[in-house]
Amino acid sequence: MDPNRRVLGHQEERAMLMRASPRRGFTVIEAMVVVTILGVMIAWGVPAFATWMDNIRIRGTAESILSGLQYSRAEATARNASVRFQLVTDLSATCQRTSIGSNWVVDLVDAADDSVEGNCQLNPINDTPAAPSILQKKPARDGTGSTRVEGSAANRAITEVVFNGLGRLTPVPSGEIEFAVTGANTNQCRESGGDLTCLRVLVSPAGQVRMCSDSVPIGDPQRC
């Protein structure tokens, strides 16, 4: 055989002469560093995420109360009749009116002594049959119990608001009626040193309804 004759081509020769470099993965130390960093990120992120979710629930509940009050006023003027918005313990056949709760029912005031208590399971109606004439009802927006709605007027607990045919409150209160929407613990609000943006839904004697907060800076149009 000719000694000068090449058996392998240039590419094959080069591949045989090159040493195969071992594949390198994560070392135990590198893996531990990654796990530690992830642990720190989770430790910082979980409380912030929980606060964010609580704020979303508070806003959702406040918007539900706002919507119910606005609906009540609109129905009162459209029907030229008294329409009542009230907080209730639940929407069952054993419901009771309450000053603290985020379930609500709207009904026509058919008589001075009619009540939705014990009748919250009834379906809303479009006409006016025997009392209670339920027009609309909504369960608590937050099913976890992490939000709290409290109705009050002049430092007195209230369970209901009644709009007359002119869209005004009846009887006329001495000041605004307030529905305070907070976390389960009222001390968690920012104005009390907490992290939650608590909200208030206010109803003026003239029937105007608005949502505001004491957590926003002074001068902000959303401040109460």
Domain-by-domain residue ranges, the chain?
Answer: 28-212
142 against 174, higher pLDDT: 174
pTM of the model: 0.76
Average pLDDT over every residue of 185-206 = 91
Task: Please say if the pLDDT value at position 128 is more than 60.
Answer: no
Average pLDDT over every residue of 82-95 = 94
CA separation for the pair 181, 202 (Å, rounded):
11
Judged by DSSP in three states, 186 sits in: helix
Task: Please say if the pLDDT value at position 52 is more than 60.
Answer: yes
Query: What does the mean pLDDT of the chain come to?
Result: 82
- Secondary structure of the chain: what % helix, strand, coil (to 5)? 30, 25, 45
Task: Please say if the pLDDT value at position 80 is more than 70.
Answer: yes
Percentage with pLDDT > 70 across the chain: 74
CA separation for the pair 65, 211 (Å, rounded):
9
The residue type of 173 is: P
Judged by DSSP in three states, 91 sits in: coil
Task: Please say if the pLDDT value at position 41 is more than 70.
Answer: no
CA separation for the pair 54, 62 (Å, rounded):
12
38 against 138, higher pLDDT: 138
Torsion sign (Cα): 158, 86, 150, 204: negative
pLDDT of residue 129: 54
How many Å from the N-terminal Cα to the C-terminal Cα in the chain? Answer: 101
Task: Please say if the pLDDT value at position 37 is more than 80.
Answer: no
Omega of the bond leading into 132 within 30 degrees of 0 (cis): yes
Residue 62 near residue 152 (C-beta atoms within 8 A) = no
pLDDT of residue 219: 83
- What is the DSSP annotation of 20-82? PPPP----HHHHHHHHHHHHHHHHHHHHHHHHHHHHHHHHHHHHHHHHHHHHHHHHHHHHTS-
Average pLDDT over every residue of 142-153 = 79
* Closest by Cα among 148, 208, 205, 200 to 179: 200
Task: Please say if the pLDDT value at position 11 is more than 70.
Answer: no
Residue 79 near residue 127 (C-beta atoms within 8 A) = no
Residue 49 near residue 188 (C-beta atoms within 8 A) = no
pLDDT of residue 8: 47
Name the pLDDT band for 215 (thresholds 50, 70, 90). confident
203 against 215, higher pLDDT: 203
* CATH 3.55.40.10 correct for 28-212: yes
pLDDT of residue 91: 92
Task: Please say if the pLDDT value at position 200 is more than 80.
Answer: yes
